[in-house]
Amino acid sequence: MGNFQIGVLLITGSFLTAIEYANDGDDIPRALAMAAYWVCMVGVVVFIVWYSLATPYFESGDARAKWMHHPGEVASGYRLRMFMIPAMMIIVAAMVIPGLFIDSDRDTKVMQSLLLSGAILLAACMVALAIWPLHRACQRRLRRNISIRQICFHCGYDLHASPGTHCPECGAAIPWLNGVAATDNDA
């Protein structure tokens, strides 16, 4: 799924670069190209923020979720998706590349607006990735759901019929049976 998003970002950047190549120097096409660039980049940033922050929060409360990784990995916090770092690099490139072609006579107003829009979008992504309280909320919520469902925190084994205080599959201690509260460092 990460490759799909990267492909969309590459196509978006190529489309915007083509718009800039087609620019004949009139102010109206230049303004339309800037508007299209802004709309596409804001859409990409909103999608990345939603995909990296909001989606894991909703997944952490879903009792029917089929985890791709064992619960201990997921509960160690919201995961930055595998495409997040390449996507950030592509966003930076998408902000810089149109600037190379947007105006051959180096119109300072156009270049300043492009750099300002790029700085705002990059700052929005950096702030979104630095949100620590959401990480903690996802972690606590997922740990609570795992203990309610009575599955092993480390391997996902169903512990409903387990008589011992350790997981029969991986040997990990079961915190709620041993009288130990699950801490944030268990995973």
Domain count, the chain: 2
Residue 87 CB-density burial (10 A; 0-12 exposed, 13-18 middle, 19+ buried): buried
Same domain for 113 and 22: yes
Q: What number of residues does the chain have?
A: 187
Three-state secondary-structure class, residue 79:
coil
Same domain for 116 and 90: yes
Same domain for 173 and 90: no
Residue 183: closest CA among 144, 135, 134:
144
Judge whether residue 187 has pLDDT over 50.
no
Same domain for 139 and 162: no
Same domain for 155 and 139: no
Same domain for 7 and 34: yes
Q: Are 82 and 2 in contact (CB under 8 A)?
A: yes
Same domain for 155 and 83: no
Higher pLDDT, 19 or 116: 116
Same domain for 158 and 145: no
Mean pLDDT of 73-96: 57
Measured CA to CA, the distance from residue 60 to residue 179 in angstroms comes to: 24
Q: Considering only CA atoms, give the Rg of the chain.
A: 23
- Using 50, 70 and 90 to split pLDDT, how confident is the model at 49? low
pLDDT in tens, 11-46: 555 555 555 555 555 555 666 666 677 777 777 777
Write out the residue range of the structural domain in which residue 178 sits. 151-187
Judge whether residue 86 has pLDDT over 70.
no
Q: What is the structure's pLDDT at 16?
A: 54
Mean pLDDT of 104-117: 62
- Using 50, 70 and 90 to split pLDDT, how confident is the model at 75? very low
Same domain for 169 and 141: no
